[in-house]
Each structure stands twice: as C-alpha cells, then as structure tokens.
C-alpha cells in the first residue's frame, strides 16, 4: 500500500511552495530527528530575532531562513523557481514532520 502523502494543518495542495517544502523535508532532512530538531531550533532563533539569517545547504535544496520567511531553492532542477514560505507555515510543517516519525507515547 502506498504511503499517505505528508500533510500538516494549513497544507495547501498544488501550492508550489508547499510542494517544495515537502520535497525539502523528504530529500534533505529525511527522517533524521537530530537534523529536524536542529532545523526547528534555528527556525525559532530566526523567528525570535536571535539569528538574523540561517542557511542550510543540503543534497538537493538550499534553505535560507530570514525574518521574511523560508526561501527554498532546488539545487538539482535549474529550471525550478525558488519558493518562499512564511516562517509560521514552515514551523507548522516542520513540527508535523517531526511528529510523523517520533514514536508515540
């Protein structure tokens, strides 16, 4: 049976930014709790102003977090446009991603 597509509260279907965010999580963060928690921590630091900017270069995507949002750039598909998503939407998706692979209590 096929795995259910990743969803989170506020996920917009057929939205290029949300689709790229899912691809980034799958390809670059994967199901690695350490990477996901580090990303969540850096996101909160940028949201709070403790960090003005934070970047992560992954296998397939480049992520740049600023007070303007999360900019995700596809490093493989040169014809793909970079996508911006709000830090709030990014945080919600990341939180759901982390919960999707952590063992339930």
Q: What is the pLDDT of residue 4?
A: 59
| 45-96 residue pLDDT tens | 999 999 999 999 999 999 999 999 999 999 999 899 999 999 999 999 999 9
CA-wise closest residue to 9 among 86, 89, 85: 89
The mean predicted confidence, pLDDT, of the chain is 89
**Could you give the CA distance from residue 20 to residue 77 in angstroms, rounded to a whole number?**
12
User: What's the chain look like in SS3?
Assistant: CCCCCCCCCCCCCCCHHHHHHHHHHHHHHCCCHHHHHHHHHHHHHHHHCCCCEEEEECCCEEEEEECCEEEEEECCCCCCCCEEECHHHHHHHHHHHHHHHCCCC
What does the domain layout of the chain look like in residue ranges?
Answer: 16-100
Query: For the whole model, what pTM was predicted?
Result: 0.86
């Amino acid at each position: 049976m096929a795995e259910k597509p990743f969803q989170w509260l506020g996920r917009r279907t057929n939205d290029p930014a949300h689709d790229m965010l899912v691809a980034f999580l799958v390809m670059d963060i994967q199901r690695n709790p350490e990477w996901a928690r580090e990303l969540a921590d850096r996101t909160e630091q940028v949201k709070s102003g403790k960090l003005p900017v934070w970047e992560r270069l992954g296998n397939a995507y480049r992520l740049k977090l600023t007070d303007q949002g999360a900019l995700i750039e596809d490093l493989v598909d040169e014809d793909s446009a970079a996508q911006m998503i709000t830090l709030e939407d990014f945080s919600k998706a990341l939180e759901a991603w982390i919960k999707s692979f952590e063992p339930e209590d």
